[in-house]
């Protein structure tokens, strides 16, 4: 695996005697889309604020491309583009002037580059209108534009799909994956839309009460062929099926029976059941969605 581009090590944030973030350690690699999941108040936004230097760390260290966000803030933040919570812009300025404003703060952003990102986020038609006339979706796009304008190596997006319509969400998702795969930008997204994260991310971390409770790889091409998963067989006489499959430790459920097996064996079991005269209405692997996994690890706490 390549050298991590972002490292959070033992990051801790205490306010008073409340521990908001508790020894959080994460590594982000170049070109991956990393999801950051957690229930409300679990510390997602606080973590992001610490990563961009808006909040100080009580303990631990955050480095971006080897530069500490605390000790060499300017070098570290140069690598970062971000939207923290809502994309708040100067409402009395046009979208274009907002971009000029941020462009002036980083050397080397040309007018052409600004026009390029405006086109990229599809705001050409309205870019010279005042931001106060923009819809939430358009503000979100402008937010993305200011975040990618200076070609950062790390893009941090807090709830980026908020306020976008389904088409916008799809476009954003495709665009983020494109940025990560073809330009090698690391994308760090927090979201409460679990299904979204599943489609967008390579890895997800789940935090709760400021602690990392799980981190897993999401496969974008579905489970591997020989992977064992939970198969559900819908049959007319479950108890008979159970007897037949005694050696497979199957259990009876409402619909039929369930057991752990791989793809090939599942097909073989189906043939067995049919030849024994049972009616098989259907069988399918049951892949746990991220949402189910999430509820499982967070103990069913509501996600918002």
Partner 1 sequence: MGNFMELVRNENMKIYSRLRTWIMMGIMLVIMLAASIVVLLLDEGVKSMWTVLNSEVFSGTMLVTIFTVIIAADSVAGEFSSGTIKLLLIRPWSRSKILLSKYISVIQFAIFFLAVLFVWTYIWNGLFFGFSSGSLQELTNESSTGSVWSFVLSGLGLQFISMMLTTVTISFLLSTVFRSGGLSIGLSLFLMFMSDTIAGLMSLIDKPWKDYFWFMQSNLTQYLSNGPDVTHEHTIYFSLGILLVYYVVFLAITWWQFMRRDITS
* Interface residues toward partner 1, by CB under 8 A: 49, 52-56, 73-75, 77-78, 80, 82-93, 97, 100-102, 104-107, 146
> Are the C-beta atoms of residues 96 and 114 closer than 8 Å to each other?
yes
User: CB-wise, 128 or 288, nearer to partner 1?
Assistant: 128
Tell me the closest approach of the beta carbon of residue 81 to partner 1, in angstroms.
Answer: 8
Cβ neighbours around 294 below 10 Å, total: 23
Closest to partner 1 by CB, 81 vs 238, is: 81
The nearest distance, CB 191 to partner 1, in angstroms, is 18
Least distance between partner 1 and beta carbon 107 (Å): 4
The least distance separating partner 1 from the CB of residue 225, rounded to whole angstroms, comes to 45
Distances in whole angstroms, Cα of residue 25 to Cα of each of 136, 215, 267? 33, 11, 43
Q: How far is CA 110 from CA 105, 151, 247, in A?
A: 12, 12, 69
Residue closer to partner 1 (CB basis): 5 or 278? 5
Compute and round to an integer the Cα radius of gyration of the chain: 24
Q: Based on CB atoms, which residue is closest to partner 1, 7 or 79?
A: 79
Other Cβ atoms closer than 10 A to 186: 25
Q: Find the shortest distance in angstroms from Cβ 78 to partner 1.
A: 4
- Of 89 and 278, the one with the shorter C-beta distance to partner 1 is 89
The H-or-E segment that residue 261 falls in is strand 256-261
Contact 187, 176 (CB under 8 A): yes
């Amino acid at each position: 695996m390549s050298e991590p581009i972002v490292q959070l090590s033992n990051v801790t944030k205490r306010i008073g005697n409340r521990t908001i973030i508790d020894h959080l350690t994460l590594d982000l690699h170049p070109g991956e889309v990393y999801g950051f999941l957690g229930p409300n108040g679990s510390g997602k936004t606080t973590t992001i604020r610490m990563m961009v230097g808006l909040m100080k760390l009580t303990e631990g260290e955050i480095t971006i491309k080897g530069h500490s966000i605390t000790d060499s803030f300017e070098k570290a933040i140069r690598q970062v583009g971000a939207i923290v919570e809502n994309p708040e812009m100067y409402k009395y300025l046009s979208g274009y002037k907002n971009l000029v404003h941020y462009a002036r703060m980083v050397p080397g952003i040309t007018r052409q580059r600004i026009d390029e990102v405006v086109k990229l986020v599809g705001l050409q038609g309205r870019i010279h209108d005042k931001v106060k006339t923009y819809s939430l979706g358009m503000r979100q796009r402008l937010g993305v534009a200011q975040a990618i304008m200076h070609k950062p190596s790390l893009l941090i997006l807090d709830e980026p799909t908020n306020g976008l319509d389904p088409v916008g969400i799809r476009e954003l998702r495709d665009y983020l994956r494109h940025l990560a795969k073809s330009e090698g930008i690391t994308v760090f997204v927090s979201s409460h839309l679990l299904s979204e994260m599943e489609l967008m991310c390579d890895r997800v971390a789940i935090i709760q009460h400021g602690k990392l409770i799980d981190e897993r790889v999401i496969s974008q091409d579905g489970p591997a062929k020989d992977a064992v998963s939970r198969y559900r067989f819908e049959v007319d006489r479950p108890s008979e099926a159970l007897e037949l499959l005694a050696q497979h430790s199957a259990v009876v459920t409402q619909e039929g029976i369930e057991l752990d097996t791989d793809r090939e064996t599942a097909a073989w079991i189906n043939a067995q059941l049919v030849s024994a005269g049972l009616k098989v209405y259907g069988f399918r692997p049951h892949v746990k969605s991220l949402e189910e996994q999430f509820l499982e690890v967070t103990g069913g706490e509501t996600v918002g």
